[in-house]
Homo-oligomer: A and B are copies of this chain.
Amino acid sequence: MTTGKESKPRRVTAKQVAQAAGVSRSAVSRAFTPGSPLDEGKKRKILQVSEQLGYRPNALAAGLQSRGRSNLVAIVTGDLVNHYDSEILAKLMRGLYAMGKWPVVLGGSAETSEAEILEVLAYPLDALILRGGSVDESVATHCAKLNIPLIVSGRVMDAEGVDCVCCDNMRGAELAVTQLIARGKTRLGYLGGLAHLSSDQERKAGFESALTKAGFKPAILEHSDFSYEGGYEALTGILSNDVELDGLFCANDAMALGAIAAGRQQFGLSIPSDLSVVGFDDIAIAQWPSFQLSTVRNDMDQTVSQILRLLTERLDQPEKASETILIKPEFISRGTH
């Protein structure tokens, strides 16, 4: 057993490799830079010594160079308890690996601390991807000052030089309402998530406008928190108050699943004959045999590929005009509507 603070053992450097191999430091650097002019035998020797000593060029020091990049990209994700957030995070990370970028992940829990984001900006990030959490727009100002490209997804941020990728939430809500009405449902309710999020506001607005256009009025407009438990409690509350309802559009899948469970267990409702329920996002469990949830697909693959495209272009052309991409939602018809 050892006690007390010990000195940190240091990593092997190019200098040490150079000495051990009997070459100059520059030669070592060249051995690891494809296309550099270097004698083939000398290169082999260097690589062999490096292997033996466990040498790898330090990516940090390389990123310090004039034209160097850190290849670090920060991602701010929403609460990973929400399956949409964890699923799209996985896809986004894979895309970044393929680009040779490494994701530094922030958030992941209910409260996304603004301070955390500002702290991580101390790193010379290649970009910051704001995918979830409720973060103030002032982040855009900080990024701009630090020359860190900002890409926002899941909402639209109207700031200079900020690229956005967002689902057409209004359209998605309209799709849901149209499909419910097509099934003969007329007393429709809306179950929203956190009301301060623009995605919720847009879905709600889409719901109301589509309903009005069809000549109906909302049976109820309720809010919860995007969680399964929240959806369960919300529908329990609504039905306990004798609200007449034959269709419910929920702002995400988790709440829809919770509402379905409450309807069945607390009120003995048959889904969809007594009550139709439609969700939003199309997370993996929506298609589990137990659920077979009808929902509006918030396409993750399209979203991720657009984010990656915008990132690539922005890195290549820092001054190019910013874009806002709207992803088209699609109604997924399963068994709950």
Contact = CB atoms under 8 A, between A and B. Distances in A.
Given A56-B146, A261-B289, A109 B90 contact: yes
Interface in A212-234: 228-229, 232
B72 A319 contact: no
Interface in A102-150: 102-106, 108-109, 113, 116, 120-124, 142, 144-147
A1 B54 contact: no
A224 to B, nearest CB: 15
A265 B289 contact: yes
A284 B70 CA distance: 37
Interface in A306-330: 316-321
A56 B147 CA distance: 11
A147 B288 contact: no
A182 interface: no
Interface string A142-163: 1011110000000000000000
A60 B56 contact: no
A250 to B, nearest CB: 15
Contacts of A83: 83, 86
A70 B72 CA distance: 12
A56 B8 contact: no
A143 B105 CA distance: 22
A77 to B, nearest CB: 9
20 contacts: A2-B320, A5-B317, A8-B147, A9-B147, A10-B147, A54-B145, A56-B121, A56-B122, A57-B122, A58-B124, A60-B60, A60-B63, A60-B123, A86-B86, A93-B108, A93-B109, A103-B104, A228-B288, A262-B289, A290-B290
B122 A318 contact: no
B90 A122 contact: no
